[in-house]
């Protein structure tokens, strides 16, 4: 393999950052970018009304609401590495895009608020990481505020998420008594020193060897003794670091820090880069494609973003490059349409800035102009190569509405609009299992997508609609081959539907009802994901 190409790819790291809203994902991302010199000021990049927006916010609707609807990809360089961060929406109303973004990442960083522990949204995102067996790193944030007991936090991660943990560093106190962190590898203690939010890149951290008498003076006898006890306990009873288990996503290296005060961020980055791998191989219908062996360019579309810029009325498809080098002057082959083409306006995207690029490498994520030909999961590769990457699964929505067109004369436009929006993957569309097209049911992962749907149908397709909420919160695909839903015994609070490909599904109002359905129908297979 070409040495230069190999080096470029080897130095790349592509990870997604996940958390529950407010745990500090935006703050941490911003600090990463600051280290990489990708942004110059650290002013709170919060997506709140009347304040500066997070670098990853861009859509009008998210500005109105001050939240991050879309996931974006940011790139920066640090310590010889080229790092791609895939940002995921941080609001309660996240969407299926968040899940899809995780399909494009090689590892995930999970940010946890030290006073709260594992929260609902983290659990959902975590499940997708587990499905992919990618390494998961934990950053326990906000140690400068009152925090829960670190052992309790680790136990919660292990019990709730079912992953082993291995603390790489260990906190000394928290809140007002937060003194710093102890690095279990080097036996050094980095003393906590807050840095002003918009200020310099890093704190001039003072470090002491754990055996240094001065450390005792600095942190006091109580905390020192506690640290000694903790280290003994961790060494004796904790899971040892095991890179193989980390690679398989079975052991999460844990770091404690404070993103806002830039404490522990650099240490985290350094360890993280050492403990993660360069772009991972990916499965295709021609077998595993390894970027370290396959020189030819290839990638897949994992997200389609419509109308990011209203003035252009364009669609951007996001592609994760999986092998080789993308060269903007060369033709590529879109496998699903069987067409050779030049990708139009390839770009890297950062906030409102779109930087047109001439080249990109395996591991990178880029946006390409989509004239309406790409679908989620499509493969793009070098002409002459013919294979498709494994599709991106469809994830179970959790909110459902009946969608009604107010003007029956506009039925055609309405159907066109809702079908197109569903094809882009913003919503999922279902219909009654037995009644052809009489009602359209839409399902979304986060309720904001309902607003986006209504807004877009009204603005882009000139159709006024009404959304009638349905009392279901769960949907499951019935995996048994050739099953007729009418032959199944369904609890009364369920509804039988099919998706646009005709796959049978059942809507449930609660988990209890799902269990009941499984009990009543022996051999029934229900799933939360649909492989495409």
Binding-site member from 12, 13, 65, 142 for ligand G4P (CB under 6 A): 142
Which span (24-32, 125-133, 299-307, 322-330) binds ligand G4P, by CB under 6 A? 24-32
Q: With both helix axes pointing from N to C terminus, report the angle between 411-423 and 448-460 in degrees, rounded to the nearest 10.
A: 130
21 is an interface residue for ligand G4P by CB under 6 A: yes
Query: What DSSP designation does 397 have?
Result: P
25 is an interface residue for ligand G4P by CB under 6 A: yes
284 is an interface residue for ligand G4P by CB under 6 A: no
Binding-site member from 75, 165, 188, 258 for ligand G4P (CB under 6 A): 258
Nearest approach in angstroms of CB 150 to ligand G4P is 15
Q: Residue 108's Cα: distance from chain center in Å? A: 8
Nearest approach in angstroms of CB 423 to ligand G4P is 30
Nearest approach in angstroms of CB 48 to ligand G4P is 7
Which span (17-25, 34-42, 349-357, 444-452) binds ligand G4P, by CB under 6 A? 17-25
Residue 371 burial class via C-beta count within 10 angstroms: exposed 0-12, middle 13-18, buried 19 and up: exposed
Nearest approach in angstroms of CB 447 to ligand G4P is 18
Segment 297-356, which members bind ligand G4P (CB under 6 A)?
Answer: none
Compute the distance between CA of residue 299 and CA of residue 59 in angstroms, rounded to an integer: 25
Nearest approach in angstroms of CB 96 to ligand G4P is 19
Binding-site member from 14, 19, 190, 375 for ligand G4P (CB under 6 A): 19
> Which is nearest to 522 in space by CA: 496, 489, 474?
489
88 is an interface residue for ligand G4P by CB under 6 A: no
102 is an interface residue for ligand G4P by CB under 6 A: no
Per-residue HEC secondary structure of 343-379 comes to CCCCEEEECCEEEECCEEECCCEEEEECCCCCCCCCE
Segment 222-241, which members bind ligand G4P (CB under 6 A)?
Answer: none
Residue 129 contacts by C-beta under 8 Å, 6 or more apart in sequence?
18, 102, 108, 136, 249
Question: How long a stretch of residues is the chain?
Answer: 532
Nearest approach in angstroms of CB 449 to ligand G4P is 19
Nearer to ligand G4P, 22 or 479 (CB): 22
Task: Tell me the C-alpha to C-alpha distance, in Å, between residue 46 and each of 17, 26, 55, 68.
Answer: 16, 7, 8, 10
Nearest approach in angstroms of CB 43 to ligand G4P is 9
116 is an interface residue for ligand G4P by CB under 6 A: no
Nearest approach in angstroms of CB 144 to ligand G4P is 5
With the CA atoms of 50, 55, 57 and 58 taken in that order, what torsion angle do they form, in degrees rounded to the nearest 10? Answer: 100
Q: Contact letters (x/-) for ligand G4P, 32-51, by CB under 6 A?
A: ------------x-x-----
144 is an interface residue for ligand G4P by CB under 6 A: yes
Nearest approach in angstroms of CB 136 to ligand G4P is 17
Nearest approach in angstroms of CB 179 to ligand G4P is 15
Nearer to ligand G4P, 44 or 388 (CB): 44
23 is an interface residue for ligand G4P by CB under 6 A: yes
Coil, helix or strand at residue 268: helix
Binding-site member from 82, 161, 259, 429 for ligand G4P (CB under 6 A): 259
Question: In the structure encoding, which two tokens stand for residue 107, read together?
Answer: 């590892």
57 is an interface residue for ligand G4P by CB under 6 A: no
Angle at 312 between CA 306 and CA 315, to 5 degrees: 25
Contact between 391 and 296 (Cβ < 8 Å): no
* 27-37 as b/e: b if 16+ CB within 10 A: bbbbbbbbbbe
22 is an interface residue for ligand G4P by CB under 6 A: yes
Binding-site member from 108, 147, 260, 306 for ligand G4P (CB under 6 A): 260
Helix (H) or strand (E) holding 49: none
Q: Residue 123's Cα: distance from chain center in Å? A: 12
Compute the distance between CA of residue 264 and CA of residue 80 in angstroms, rounded to an integer: 20
Segment 172-211, which members bind ligand G4P (CB under 6 A)?
Answer: none
Nearer to ligand G4P, 144 or 370 (CB): 144
141 is an interface residue for ligand G4P by CB under 6 A: yes
Nearer to ligand G4P, 64 or 519 (CB): 64
Contact between 252 and 164 (Cβ < 8 Å): yes
Contact between 490 and 505 (Cβ < 8 Å): no
Compute the distance between CA of residue 236 and CA of residue 153 in angstroms, rounded to an integer: 18
Nearest approach in angstroms of CB 56 to ligand G4P is 9
Nearest approach in angstroms of CB 50 to ligand G4P is 11
Nearer to ligand G4P, 144 or 364 (CB): 144
Residue 464 burial class via C-beta count within 10 angstroms: exposed 0-12, middle 13-18, buried 19 and up: middle
Nearer to ligand G4P, 113 or 424 (CB): 113
**Binding footprint of ligand G4P on the chain (CB under 6 A):** 19, 21-27, 44, 46, 90, 141-142, 144-145, 258-260
């Amino acid at each position: 393999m070409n040495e230069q190409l190999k080096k470029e790819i080897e130095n790349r790291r592509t990870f997604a950052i996940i958390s529950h809203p407010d745990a500090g994902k935006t703050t941490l991302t911003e600090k990463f970018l600051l280290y990489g010199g990708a942004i110059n000021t650290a002013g709170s990049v919060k997506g709140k009304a009347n304040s500066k927006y997070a670098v990853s916010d861009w859509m009008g609707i998210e500005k109105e609401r001050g939240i991050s609807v879309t996931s974006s990809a940011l790139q920066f360089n640090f310590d010889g590495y080229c790092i791609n961060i895939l940002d995921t929406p941080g609001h309660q109303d996240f969407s299926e895009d968040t899940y899809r973004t995780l399909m494009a990442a090689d590892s995930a960083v999970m940010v946890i608020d030290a006073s709260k522990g594992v929260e609902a949204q983290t659990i959902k995102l975590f499940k997708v990481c587990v499905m992919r067996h990618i390494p998961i790193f934990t950053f326990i944030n906000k140690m400068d505020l009152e925090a829960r007991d670190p052992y309790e936090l680790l136990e919660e991660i292990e019990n709730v998420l079912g992953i082993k943990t291995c603390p790489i560093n260990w906190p000394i106190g928290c809140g007002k008594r937060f003194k710093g962190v102890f690095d279990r590898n080097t036996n050094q203690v980095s003393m906590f020193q807050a840095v002003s939010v918009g200020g310099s890149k890093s704190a001039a951290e003072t470090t002491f060897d754990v055996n240094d008498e001065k450390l005792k003076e600095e942190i006091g006898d109580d905390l020192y003794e506690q640290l000694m006890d903790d280290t003994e306990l961790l060494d004796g009873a904790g899971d040892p670091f095991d890179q193989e288990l980390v690679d398989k996503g079975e052991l999460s290296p844990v770091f404690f820090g404070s993103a806002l005060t830039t404490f522990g961020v650099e240490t985290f980055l350094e360890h993280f880069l050492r403990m993660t791998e360069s772009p991972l191989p990916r499965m295709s219908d021609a077998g595993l494609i390894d970027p370290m062996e396959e020189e030819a360019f290839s990638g897949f579309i994992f997200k389609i973003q419509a109308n990011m810029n209203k003035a252009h009325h364009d669609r951007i498809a996001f592609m994760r490059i999986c092998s080789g080098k993308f060269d903007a002057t060369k033709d590529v082959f879109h496998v699903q349409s069987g067409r050779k083409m030049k990708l139009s306006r390839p770009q890297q995207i950062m906030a409102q800035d779109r930087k047109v690029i001439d080249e990109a490498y395996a591991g990178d994520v880029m946006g390409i102009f989509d004239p309406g030909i790409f679908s989620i999961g499509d493969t793009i590769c070098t002409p002459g190569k013919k294979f498709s990457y494994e599709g991106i699964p469809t994830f179970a929505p959790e909110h459902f509405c009946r969608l009604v067109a107010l003007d029956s004369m506009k039925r055609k436009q309405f159907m066109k609009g809702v079908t197109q929006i569903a094809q882009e993957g913003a919503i999922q569309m279902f219909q009654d299992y037995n009644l052809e097209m009489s009602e359209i049911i839409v399902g979304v992962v986060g309720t904001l997508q309902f607003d986006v749907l209504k807004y877009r149908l009204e603005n882009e397709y000139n159709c006024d609609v009404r959304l009638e909420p349905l009392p279901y919160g769960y949907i499951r695909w019935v995996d048994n081959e050739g099953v007729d839903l009418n032959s199944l015994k369904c609890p009364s609070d369920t509804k039988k539907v099919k998706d646009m490909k005709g796959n049978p599904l059942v809507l449930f109002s609660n988990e209890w009802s799902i269990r009941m359905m499984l009990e009543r129908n022996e051999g029934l297979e229900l799933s939360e994901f649909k492989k495409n």
